[in-house]
């Protein structure tokens, strides 16, 4: 089987720096070790716990991404509602001015019609209870009045809906803050565990990451074609990001989390897909068998659907795996994450 030639990676100096600092690449490395007690930091236990904390952080990241996507959607809906309400208020002001002109004319001709008085009072809706007064308005004035009352009702509905959305947005932002603290707490705890390791143990861990990166450099992807031109274009975009660091919540172009990489890559191909791995798992066409996967298909991992990458061919996945790692190719069989299904666009 032919050996796959990958696009040129970032310069060697950049890659060397990333490799040398891989064990320290967490967001909260400056926090102290006083937050909670540490488990027994023997080599095997500490290594296993760091990996578990990184896995938990990546799972929590997808939940954070979902909450953020909802917050962004709510923010746009609120802005649209407020903009619509402002335009309707301007229209109501125009109608009120027209009706004010009616009142002025009636005053000059011998007094203001009681119906118009009611309309221009602090409670214009009370006019509806005095239908007899409508007979004293011209057909044109009556139409303007009905239009005013109708638009006033719609405006109130818009404002009520905007208020409800604002409350939901505030609750969502609280959820975002909680999830952010959870992720940062796990990363900080992992960093404290790393800090308990000896220099030799940290060097061993860094060497393990370097081996994974070298293995990515030599990945044999075969020569299978993608199922569609758009999948091929998205996959090519993701390939151009090999060597970029994993950063939770990041969507590129120079750092990514797992679903940030896949959604960014498809955007480069002119296709909008959902932001989170769970939402991406429900989009497109499901591919249930690994044998039916083609390069550029999304591959959904873990039983909670919290990881996603690109199927790269020949049993390989291209993904942003975890904190402290780079975007790279890895064997699916050795990833330690169960394959759930594929998604084709």
Together in a domain, 38 and 103: yes
Query: Is 319 part of any domain?
Result: yes
**Average pLDDT of the chain to the nearest whole number:** 80
What does the pLDDT read at residue 141?
64
Together in a domain, 341 and 256: yes
What does the pLDDT read at residue 339?
96
36-74 pLDDT tens trace = 444 444 445 788 899 999 999 999 999 999 999 989 888
What does the pLDDT read at residue 106?
53
Together in a domain, 28 and 170: yes
Query: Is 7 part of any domain?
Result: no
What does the pLDDT read at residue 86?
79
Together in a domain, 172 and 71: yes
Query: Is 244 part of any domain?
Result: yes
CA distance 245 to 175: 26
249-304 pLDDT tens trace = 999 999 999 999 999 999 999 999 999 999 999 999 999 999 999 999 999 999 99
Together in a domain, 55 and 185: yes
All residues at 6 or more sequence positions from 60 whose CB lies less than 8 Å from its CB, including other chains = 179, 182, 183, 186
225-264 pLDDT tens trace = 999 999 999 999 999 999 999 999 999 999 999 999 999 9
Question: Other CB atoms closer than 10 Å to residue 3's CB: what's the count?
Answer: 11
Together in a domain, 150 and 248: no
Together in a domain, 175 and 271: no
Which CATH number do you get for residue 322?
A: 3.90.1720.10
Mean pLDDT is highest, among 17-26, 69-78, 101-110, 277-286, for: 277-286
CA distance 48 to 107: 86
Together in a domain, 152 and 56: yes
Query: Is 342 part of any domain?
Result: yes
Which CATH number do you get for residue 141?
A: 1.10.287
Query: Is 16 part of any domain?
Result: no
CA distance 259 to 42: 33
Find out whether 275 and 61 touch, Cβ atoms under 8 Å: no
Together in a domain, 228 and 133: no
Q: Which residue has the higher pLDDT, 93 or 252?
A: 252
Distance, CA of 166 to chain centre: 19
For residue 51, the enclosing domain spans: 24-197
Burial class of 224 by CB neighbour count within 10 A (0 to 12, 13 to 18, 19+): middle
150-177 pLDDT tens trace = 777 777 887 888 888 888 888 888 999 9
Q: Which residue has the higher pLDDT, 79 or 23?
A: 79
CA distance 212 to 125: 72
Q: Which residue has the higher pLDDT, 144 or 318?
A: 318
- Active-site positions read 258, 307, 319
Together in a domain, 169 and 282: no
Query: Is 122 part of any domain?
Result: yes
Query: Which residue, 197, 215, 232, sits at the end of a domain?
Result: 197
Is there a cis peptide before residue 253, judged by omega within 30 degrees of 0? yes
Determine what percent of the chain is predicted with pLDDT higher than 70: 73
Find out whether 82 and 102 touch, Cβ atoms under 8 Å: no
Confidence tier at 136 by pLDDT (50, 70, 90)? low
Q: What is the CA radius of gyration of the chain?
A: 30
Mean pLDDT of 110-136: 51
Determine what percent of the chain is predicted with pLDDT higher than 90: 48
Together in a domain, 241 and 174: no
Report the domain count for the chain: 2
Query: Is 218 part of any domain?
Result: no
What does the pLDDT read at residue 11?
43
Backbone φ/ψ region at 109: left (φ over 0), alpha (ψ -120 to 50), beta = alpha
Q: Which residue has the higher pLDDT, 264 or 98?
A: 264
What does the pLDDT read at residue 20?
35
What does the pLDDT read at residue 334?
86
Together in a domain, 127 and 249: no
Confidence tier at 94 by pLDDT (50, 70, 90)? confident
Find out whether 53 and 190 touch, Cβ atoms under 8 Å: yes
CA distance 276 to 272: 12
Query: Is 110 part of any domain?
Result: yes
């Amino acid at each position: 089987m032919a050996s796959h030639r990958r696009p040129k990676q970032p310069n060697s100096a950049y890659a060397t720096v990333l490799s040398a600092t891989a064990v320290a690449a967490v967001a909260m490395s400056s926090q102290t070790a006083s937050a909670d007690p540490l488990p027994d930091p023997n080599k095997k236990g500490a290594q296993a716990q760091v990996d578990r904390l990184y896995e938990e952080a990546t799972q929590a990241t997808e939940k954070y991404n979902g909450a953020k996507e909802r917050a962004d959607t709510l923010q746009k809906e609120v802005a649209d509602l407020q903009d619509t309400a402002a335009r309707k208020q301007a229209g109501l002001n125009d109608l009120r001015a027209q009706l004010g002109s009616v009142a002025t004319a009636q005053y000059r001709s011998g007094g203001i019609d009681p119906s118009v008085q009611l309309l221009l009072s602090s409670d214009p809706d009370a006019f509806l209870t005095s239908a007899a007064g409508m007979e004293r308005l011209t057909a044109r004035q009556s139409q303007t009045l009905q239009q005013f009352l109708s638009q006033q009702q719609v405006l109130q509905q818009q404002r009520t809906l905007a208020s409800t959305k604002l409350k939901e947005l505030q609750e969502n932002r609280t959820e975002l803050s909680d999830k952010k603290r959870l992720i940062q707490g796990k990363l900080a705890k992992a960093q404290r565990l790393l800090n308990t390791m000896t220099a030799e143990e940290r060097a061993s861990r860094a060497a393990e990451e370097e081996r994974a990166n070298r293995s990515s450099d030599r990945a044999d992807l075969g020569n299978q074609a993608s199922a569609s031109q758009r999948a091929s274009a998205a996959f090519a975009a993701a390939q151009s990001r090999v060597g970029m660091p994993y950063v939770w919540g990041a969507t590129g172009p120079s750092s990514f989390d797992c679903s940030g990489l896949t959604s960014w890559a498809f955007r480069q191909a002119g296709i909008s897909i959902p932001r989170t791995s769970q939402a991406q798992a429900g989009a497109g066409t499901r591919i249930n068998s690994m044998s039916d996967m083609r390069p550029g298909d999304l591959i959904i991992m873990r039983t909670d659907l919290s990881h996603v990458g690109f199927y790269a061919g020949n049993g390989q996945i291209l993904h942003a795996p975890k904190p402290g790692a780079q975007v790279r190719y890895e064997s699916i069989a050795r990833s330690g994450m169960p394959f759930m299904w594929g998604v084709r666009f």
